[in-house]
Structure 1
Amino acid sequence: MTTTKDDAAILSGVLDRWKAAVDAHRPEDVAELFTEDAVFQGLHPYSVGRQGVAAYYDSQPLGMKAAYRVLETRRLADDVVLGYLAVEFSFTDRPPLDVKLSVLVTRVAQEWHIGHYQVSRLE
């Protein structure tokens, strides 16, 4: 396994805030965790930028919660970490949805933000 504690901590620092904003249904707060030019691919057509991220999470049902587990990390450069995660989205009115998530987090002005987000639904 090539996941390092430092890289996992960087991802968790961003993704813990992502989870808190998703769980509280605060789409604008979710979007602020992304770079201004982030490529975002949820389970709908992709978008580029924070506005698309906010619209995507605003369309999610109230009560949706996210739980994630870091599976792998790779340090691609000093300011870029790749993460591969297992995520379970739970709902109040239907069974949970298990997905795999790939993210690239980049350091911008001493803060880490998501620059690329790609969900895969494996069945």
Structure 2
Amino acid sequence: MTGTTDDEAVLREVLDAWKAGVDAHEPERVAARFTEDAIFQGLHPYSVGRQGVVAYYASQPLGMTARYEILETRRLADDLLLGYQSVVFAFSGRPPLNVSLGLLLKRLADGWYIAHYQVSSLP
């Protein structure tokens, strides 16, 4: 992985908070880790803003959990960090879903937030 351990620590802090909200099925908690104007692309049509993130995660089945592995980080500027992850979403009663997740994190006055979220499913 290219990047620094500091960059990975920043990314891990944001991803751990995201994962905790996903695993607890708390869409508002997930959305709180995004900027107000975040571009969000899950496996449905994209949205802009936290309300789209809330709607997306509210539609996910109860019991869905996420497990991630950080593959790459790149510091694009002092306040911008790019992360590339593999994520496995696990479900009750159906096979897991393996995806690739690209994130752009932005540092605001009170911490780091997801400004762009892009998922792609693996063939």
Query: Do both share a fold (TM > 0.5)?
Result: yes
Paired with 1:11 and 1:118, the residues of 2 have a C-alpha distance of 15
2:5 match = 5
Pairwise CA distance, 1:14: 0.4
Greater share of strand: 2
1:68 match = 68
Paired with 2:54 and 2:114, the residues of 1 have a C-alpha distance of 13
Pairwise CA distance, 1:3: 2.5
The code of the aligned residue for 1:27 comes to P
Pairwise CA distance, 1:4: 1.4
Pairwise CA distance, 1:122: 1.5
Pairwise CA distance, 1:81: 0.4
Paired with 1:65 and 1:40, the residues of 2 have a C-alpha distance of 19
- Count of aligned pairs: 123
Matched residue SS, 1:95: strand
Paired with 1:111 and 1:25, the residues of 2 have a C-alpha distance of 23
Pairwise CA distance, 1:110: 3.2
Paired with 2:110 and 2:29, the residues of 1 have a C-alpha distance of 18
1:87 match = 87
Matched residue SS, 2:94: coil
Paired with 1:103 and 1:32, the residues of 2 have a C-alpha distance of 15
Matched residue SS, 1:96: strand
Paired with 1:32 and 1:111, the residues of 2 have a C-alpha distance of 12
- Unaligned residue ranges in structure 1 (runs of 5+): none
Ranges of 4+ aligned residues in structure 1 off by more than 2 Å: none
1:52 match = 52
Q: CA RMSD in A?
A: 0.6
Give the TM-score normalised by structure 1: 0.98
Instruction: Give CA-to-partner distance per residue, 1:9-61, whole Å, 9 cap, x none.
Output: 00001000000000000000000100000000000000000000000000000
1:42 is the counterpart of 2:53: no
Matched residue SS, 1:54: helix
- Unaligned residue ranges in structure 2 (runs of 5+): none
Give the TM-score normalised by structure 2: 0.98
Paired with 1:110 and 1:50, the residues of 2 have a C-alpha distance of 17
Give the % identical residues: 67
Matched residue SS, 2:75: strand
